[in-house]
Amino acid sequence: MKVITLLTDFGLKDTYVAQMKGVILEIIRDVHIVDLSHDIIPQNVMEGAFLLYTAVPYFPRGSIHVAVVDPGVGTKRKAIIIETPVCFLVGPDNGILIPSAKLYKDFKVYEIKKDICRQSISSTFHARDVFAPAAALLAKGCSPEDIGKRIESFVDMDIEFGRKVGDRIVGKIMHIDGFGNLITNVRGETILKEKDFGSVLQLNLENKTYGARFLKSYGFGEEKELLLTIGGSGFLEISVNRGNASELLGAKVGDEIFIDLY
């Protein structure tokens, strides 16, 4: 059974996600649809790209990943399919798919043909009328060449990972999870090269400085203690043991962080 994943900024208050699933199931019933997330900050393409990037490697070969954070819907931006050696990526040509495609280096990009879309295409809902049918047809066995035309020009995007600058690690908050953990773009190995678990580090966020212990997991900290950990996707997280780091620090996605190493 083929797997189709969905990632959007639609939320679940409305029926948008359900309509996408309905269109997919109308084309192919024998498919497993997995919700990655529908709580991307509205129009935040980079957050969507980051979460897709962290999720794609955990799915079986041949999976089809649909990602729709699409502030340019209805404009001249292209609708695309990306074919990699491992999976397919479907969504708008605004960069959201590209970091995940680059995981596999060798990839091909196709512009989705209009004749495979739903007969009536809403200018504000390409997720349902363009991307869902394309994903379903791929799951049904159609090749990218059947439903798209090869293109060489597309919107590029890279995730800028945190880095060491002098005696500091400089990074950015990419996502805040449901526990209030601040997930950064700093790869775990970047800090592990510099500090051991148990070290107390100075964290600078929004012109305020905090002391935080670098620990292997949350439970090694005291209750309500501010911690630095390496999360399941391999990125540095700012967290509070049995608490909410986002609320404690008043942080938001896009905020820069600085970790002093001296």
Dist. CA 85–CA 101, nearest whole Å:
10
Domains along the chain with CATH numbers: 2-151 (3.40.50.10790), 163-260 (2.40.30.90)
pLDDT of residue 118: 84
Instruction: Please measure the distance between the N-terminal and C-terminal CA atoms of the chain and give it in whole angstroms.
Output: 53
Report pLDDT for 247. 97
Residue given tokens 């649809």 in the structure block: 33
Q: What is residue 6's predicted lDDT score, i.e. its pLDDT?
A: 99
**If you compute the radius of gyration of the chain from its CA atoms, what whole number of angstroms results?**
20
Residue 54 structure tokens:
């962290």
CA 105 to chain centre: 18
Q: Specify the pLDDT at position 145.
A: 96
- Per-residue model confidence (pLDDT) at position 69: 99
Give pLDDT, residue 105: 84
CA 136 from centre of chain: 21
CB distance 168 to 209 below 8 Å = no
Decide: helix, strand or coil at residue 131. Answer: helix
The pLDDT of residue 43 is 98
Q: What count of other Cβ atoms lies within 10 Å of the Cβ of residue 159?
A: 16
Sign, CA dihedral 64-68-69-74, equals: positive
In sequence order, the β-bridge partners of residue 226 are: 240
Q: Report residue 83 as tokens.
A: 């074919």
Q: Are 141 and 85 in contact (CB under 8 A)?
A: no
At 33 the pLDDT is 99
pLDDT value of residue 162: 97
Q: Is 204 exposed, middle or buried (0-12, 13-18, 19+ CB in 10 A)?
A: middle
The tens place of each residue's pLDDT in the chain, 262 residues long, gives 999 999 999 999 999 999 999 999 999 999 999 999 999 999 999 999 999 999 999 999 999 999 999 999 999 999 999 999 999 999 999 999 999 999 998 999 999 998 888 888 999 999 999 999 999 999 999 999 999 999 999 999 999 999 999 999 999 999 999 999 999 999 999 999 999 999 999 999 989 999 999 999 999 999 999 999 999 999 999 999 999 999 999 999 999 999 999 8
